[in-house]
Chains A and B, each alone.
Chain A
Amino acid sequence: MSYGEKIDIIDIDYTWSLKNYIRAFDGVYIVTIFKSIMISAITTIVCLLIAIPVAFYISFSSIRMKSILLVSIMLPLWTNLLIRTYSLIAIIRTKGHINSSLEYLWESTNNLLNFFNLANYEIMGESFIPLNLMHNNYSIILGLFYIYVPFMIIPIYLVLEKFDRNLLEASYDLGANHIKTFFKVIIPNISPGITSGIILVFIPCLGSFIIPDLLGGADSQMIGNIIERQFKSANDWPFGSALSFILIYITLVIISVRHVYSKLYSKLHLRGNL
C-alpha cells in the first residue's frame, strides 16, 4: 500500500511532461499559492500567540484543573470540521449574532440620542451598516485559527510539562525578570513543541479547502479550492494532480527542515540523559 506508487503511476499514465507544473507557476496560480502560504503563515502566528499563554496557564494549573482544561481543548477536535465551520458562520455572517448584537447596540444608542433630541446630528451615522465579517481573507484566518488552534496548544503544552520549573527559578534568582526569562529560558527550551505546533497547524491550513470555500469570498481562494475545482468541475485532473503534488512537496520540505532542525537541536542541547 504505497501511496507514492499510486500517484506516480498516474503521472506516468497521463504525461511525462512538466507542462502542468509550469502552468502552476504562472499568473493566477502562483499568486494563489503565495496567498495560501501567507494566509497559513498568519494563521500559524496567530495560533502561536494565543497557544503559548494558554498552554502556559494549563501546565501550571492544578492536576484537576489541568485535565478539565485539556479535555476542553481536545473536545472540539472530535467535532466535525464542517460542523465547526458552520457554527462559526452562524456567528459571523452578515445576519449573524455579532452583527445583530451590534445592530441592537446601535439602535439602543440611537434611541437614547433621539430621547435627548440629538438624532439630527447623526452622530451614529445614517443607518446601521453591518460589519462585513464574512467572505474575506480575515474570515478565512479566523476559521483556520478556530479549527486548528488545539493542534498548536497540545504540543506546546506537552513540552512545557517536561520543562524543569527549577530553570525558571534559577533564572529569576540570577536576576532575570519575567520577560527576559521568557525569551532567554522558556522559548529556547520549548522550541521543539513550537516547531511541532507550527507544522501541525501550517500544513493542514495550506491544504484546507472547506474553510476558504465556506468562509472565503470570490477572490479569496486557496490552493485547496483550485485543486478541488480541477477534480469536481473543471475536470483537469493532471493539473489538479500537479498542484496537489506541489502541496506535497512543500509539506515534505517543511518536514525535512524540521527533521534536520530537531537533529541539530538534540545534538546541541539535549545530549545525554537530560
Chain B
Amino acid sequence: MKKSLFYSPIDYARNKYLKYITIIFLITLYLPILNLIIFSFNDSKRNILWRGFTTKYYNKVFENDVLFSAFLNSLTIATISTIISTILGLTTAITLWKFNFYLKKYYDIALLFPIIIPEICMGISMLVFFNFIHWPNFEIWPLTLSNIIIAHVSFTFPFIAIIIRSRLTILNNDTLEAGLDLGANNIQIIRLIILPFVKPAITASFLLAFTLSLDDFVITFFTSGPNSITLPVKIYSMVRFGITPEINAVSTLLILILIFCTFFLIRYLSKNNKEV
C-alpha cells in the first residue's frame, strides 16, 4: 500500500535538520575509530597515506614480549578482580537489601562515592593508601599485580553491588515469605530463590566489571609499578612516544575484545528480558 506523503508536525524523526545533525554526529564519532582500524592494516610507517594492505603490524604485536606480558597482566587483573568484586558486590547487595543496620544510609552513599568522584582522585587515593600501609613490593608474578587487583576491586565492586541491588528491589518480599511458608530454611532461600533471581544481574555486572577493569587506565596508571604494566598503561607510553601503526594494531585488537564482550552482554541481556 502507498505510504502517506504527509506526516504529523511532531514526527521529529522526519525532521531533516535533526537527521543531518545525527548523521554528522555519528560520522564524527566513528571516523577516528574507523580510521584507526583501517590504518592498522596500512603498509606504511608514516600512517597517513594508504600504501596497501598488510598484517605485519599484527605480527609485530604478537612478537612483542612486553606488549604480550602487558596484555596477560591486564587479563589476569581483570579476571581475578572481577571474581573478587562479584562476590563482594553480591554479598554487599544482599546485605543492604535484606538488613537494616546502623548508618546504613551512609553506607549506601559511600558505595556511590567511587563511582561519582573523578577517576584521578580514586587513582591517587589508591597510590597514597598503598604507600601509607607499606604494601610490600612482591617479586613473584601474580603477586606483583596484587595492588592493582585491590584497586580494581574497590572501584568495580560498587557497580556490581548497585546493579545486583536494583535487581533485588524487584524481588517481592512475599516471594521469600512464600518460600518460608513452603518449608525452606534461610540457606535454601538464598540458594533456591535469591541466587537464581539475581543470576542475570550477576552475569551482566560481571561482564561490566570485567570490561571496566580491562579498560581502566587512570587508576592503574597510579598504582602500577615497573613490574606490573597493563595493556592500557603500555599503550599510553607508546602514544606519548609517537604515532605508529603498531599502536593502531594493538588498539584494534583491544577494541575487538571489548566489542566482543559488549556483544555478549547485550545478547545476554536482551535474551533475559524476553524471558521475564
Contacts and interface: CB of A to CB of B under 8 A. Distances in A.
Given A3-B125, A78-B259, A58 B22 contact: yes
Contacts of B138: none
A180 interface: no
A79 B258 contact: yes
A102 to B, nearest CB: 13
A207 B258 contact: no
B10 A168 contact: yes
A9 B125 CA distance: 11
Interface in A22-80: 50, 53-54, 56-58, 60-62, 65, 69, 71-76, 78-80
Interface string B90-132: 0000000000000000000010011011111110110111011
Given A60-B12, A146-B29, A146-B32, A9 B118 contact: no
A85 B113 CA distance: 26
A241 B232 contact: no
Contact of A207 (B11, B119, B215): B119
Given A54-B21, A82-B236, A97-B48, A71 B266 contact: yes
B154 A1 contact: yes
Nearest to A62: B13
Interface residues of B, number: 65
A50 B154 CA distance: 34
Nearest to A227: B120
A85 B154 CA distance: 26
A53 B235 CA distance: 35
Contact of A231 (B46, B124, B132, B211): B124
A130 B19 CA distance: 32
Interface stretch (B33-41, B177-185, B188-196): B33-41
A203 B132 CA distance: 27
B35 A90 contact: yes
A50 B25 contact: yes
A217 B106 CA distance: 42
Interface secondary structure of B, over-half rule: helix
Contact of B22 (A69, A91, A210, A237): A69
A61 B13 contact: yes
A92 B226 CA distance: 32
Contact of B218 (A50, A100, A210): A210
Contacts of B143: none
A210 B211 contact: no
Interface stretch (B63-71, B166-174, B198-206, B247-255): B247-255
Interface of B: 9-13, 15, 17-19, 21-22, 25-26, 28-33, 35-36, 39, 46-49, 110, 113-114, 116-122, 124-125, 127-129, 131-132, 154, 211, 215, 217-218, 222, 232, 235-236, 239-240, 243, 247-248, 251, 254-255, 258-259, 261-262, 266
Interface of A: 1-4, 6-7, 9-10, 13, 50, 53-54, 56-58, 60-62, 65, 69, 71-76, 78-91, 93, 95-97, 100, 146, 149, 165, 168-169, 172, 178, 203-204, 206-210, 214, 224, 227-228, 231, 237, 240-241, 244-245, 247-248, 251, 255
